[in-house]
Amino acid sequence: MTPWRCPLCAAASIRAANTVPDAAIGEQDSEPLEVTESTHELRLESTSPTSKSYRCEAGHCFDIAREGYVNLLPVQQKKSLSPGDTIESLQARRRFLDGGFYQPLRDALTEVITPCQTLIDLGCGEGYYTAALNDVACEVIALDIAKPAIRMAAKTYPALRCAVASVAAVPLADASADAITSIFAPVPLAEMLRLLRPGGQVVIVTPAPAHLFSYRQALFEQVHDHEPSKFAEAASEHFQVVLQKEVRYDISLDQAAINDLLLMTPYAWKANPVRLSAVAQLQSLHTEAAFSVLVLSKPMLDLGGA
Ligand SMILES: C[S@@+](CC[C@H](N)C(=O)[O-])C[C@H]1O[C@@H](n2cnc3c(N)ncnc32)[C@H](O)[C@@H]1O
Ligand SMILES: [Zn+2]
């Protein structure tokens, strides 16, 4: 199993590394400061007959919750009290996804990912896609900044290794992953490069231009196309683009699914209230599901950092 890394020690060593040039100024007689590379590995230990926690060499301790996940998000990395998706949005997402509307996308994911040992799903949400990734990876690590998301994922899918963490500072060692997925979630290119072994795979899913077109037409006077190509452009500087494909089909939504979509997407915040309430009262709606699936690979030779 891939060991977790202590987020507090990792943050401290980045701070130390950043202070080296300044600290060295004027210290002509002393040896230059050296920052030793450490893995800051967390070790599992039993704190009582019924509870376990992870501890690093410096003594930082992270309890394992009843549902089996660990919270590795230091308060310093929290930009709000409850970062990430809300419970209401997560529950709506779970109801909607359990309705099978996006199952073709879930199936497409397991087809494009090369079977491997360790896969990290960044911004995993309540875990619908993450759980399916166990079909192609022996160890699936599920990370999200929202504690309620990780609690739901860990409770429903015990085979996943779940942690509350930010994609901006993933608590895992360099080159520890064979594959990384980001499904409608943030795309931290520098962290992806650090975490992937050479030759490793990245899969990024974003809405394709026509995604939910008639649904968005009902909500907005002007409908703007989603722009998946911008991800490929940004990533191509550091990764090889292996494949970009669209998964596209029609879906028929009932009133419950229409309202769950409103709760789980940002559309509801942006729509005008009159249109929003008209959509919320629709009994059914026929629309399009269209996803862009971008597959990248980390070059075997270092082409320079992100
Ligand atoms: C649109 S949801 C997608 C969830 C899941 N991948 C899915 O498709 O069902 C985006 C997820 O990214 C998470 N997220 C947002 N910012 C994040 C960050 N900085 N680090 C980790 N997760 C983040 C949110 O909490 C949310 O669960
Ligand atoms: Zn530590």
What CATH number did the domain enclosing 290 receive?
Answer: 3.40.50.150
What does the alpha-carbon distance between residue 151 and residue 126 come to, in Å, rounded to a whole number?
8
What pairs with residue 53 in β-bridges?
45, 63
- How many Cα atoms occupy the beta-carbon half-sphere of 21 within 13 Å? 1
Predicted pLDDT of residue 16: 63
Question: Both 163 and 15 in a single domain?
Answer: no
In a domain, 69, yes or no: no
Predicted pLDDT of residue 81: 81
Question: Both 262 and 128 in a single domain?
Answer: yes
Predicted pLDDT of residue 75: 86
Question: Both 27 and 145 in a single domain?
Answer: no
Question: Both 100 and 235 in a single domain?
Answer: yes
In a domain, 303, yes or no: no
For the Cβ of 125 lying below 6 angstroms from any atom of ligand 1, the answer is yes
Structure tokens that stand for 255 in this block: 């009133």
Expressed in angstroms and rounded, the spacing between residue 7 Cα and the centre of ligand 2 is 7
Residue 241 to residues 78, 180, 295, 302: CA-CA distances in angstroms? 33, 14, 6, 15
Question: Both 148 and 186 in a single domain?
Answer: yes
In a domain, 19, yes or no: yes
Residue that has been written with the tokens 């968005």 in this structure:
216
Expressed in angstroms and rounded, the spacing between residue 209 Cα and the centre of ligand 2 is 44
pLDDT along the chain (306 residues), means of 10: 94 64 35 49 90 94 96 88 90 98 98 98 98 98 98 98 97 97 96 97 96 94 82 88 97 97 90 93 97 96 57
In a domain, 82, yes or no: no
Question: Both 97 and 33 in a single domain?
Answer: no
Residue 248 to residues 47, 62, 207, 293: CA-CA distances in angstroms? 50, 42, 10, 11
Ligand 1 atom 16: residue of nearest CA = 84
In a domain, 207, yes or no: yes
Provide the residues around ligand 2 (an ion) whose CB is within 5 A: 6, 8-9, 56, 58, 60
Question: Both 108 and 240 in a single domain?
Answer: yes
Range of the domain at 59: 7-64
What does the alpha-carbon distance between residue 192 and residue 194 come to, in Å, rounded to a whole number?
5
In a domain, 305, yes or no: no
For the Cβ of 124 lying below 6 angstroms from any atom of ligand 1, the answer is yes
Sheet of 52-55, strands arranged across: 43-46, 52-55, 61-63
In a domain, 58, yes or no: yes
In a domain, 98, yes or no: yes
Residue 257 to residues 13, 108, 141, 211, 249: CA-CA distances in angstroms? 47, 22, 29, 16, 17
Question: Both 136 and 275 in a single domain?
Answer: yes
Ligand 1 atom 10: residue of nearest CA = 185
Question: Both 128 and 239 in a single domain?
Answer: yes
Which ligand 1 atom is nearest residue 97's CA? 9
Ligand 1 atom 4: residue of nearest CA = 125
Question: Both 98 and 60 in a single domain?
Answer: no
Question: Both 55 and 100 in a single domain?
Answer: no
What does the alpha-carbon distance between residue 236 and residue 226 come to, in Å, rounded to a whole number?
19
For the Cβ of 73 lying below 6 angstroms from any atom of ligand 1, the answer is no
Which of 16, 49, 64 is the C-terminal boundary of a domain?
64
- The pTM (predicted TM-score) of the whole model is 0.91
Helix (H, G, I), strand (E, B) or coil at 54: strand
Predicted pLDDT of residue 22: 36
Question: Both 16 and 105 in a single domain?
Answer: no
For the Cβ of 183 lying below 6 angstroms from any atom of ligand 1, the answer is yes
Expressed in angstroms and rounded, the spacing between residue 122 Cα and the centre of ligand 1 is 7
Expressed in angstroms and rounded, the spacing between residue 45 Cα and the centre of ligand 2 is 14
Residues 75, 243 contacting (CB under 8 angstroms): no
The number of distinct structural domains making up the chain is: 2
Strand boundaries in 11-133, DSSP class E: 43-46, 52-55, 61-63, 70-71, 116-122
For the Cβ of 130 lying below 6 angstroms from any atom of ligand 1, the answer is no
Ligand 1 atom 9: residue of nearest CA = 125
Which ligand 1 atom is nearest residue 90's CA? 27
Which of 64, 79, 95 is the C-terminal boundary of a domain?
64
> Quick one: how far is CA 100 from the chain centroid?
21
Which ligand 1 atom is nearest residue 182's CA? 6
For the Cβ of 260 lying below 6 angstroms from any atom of ligand 1, the answer is no
Q: Calculate Rg over the CA atoms of the chain.
A: 21
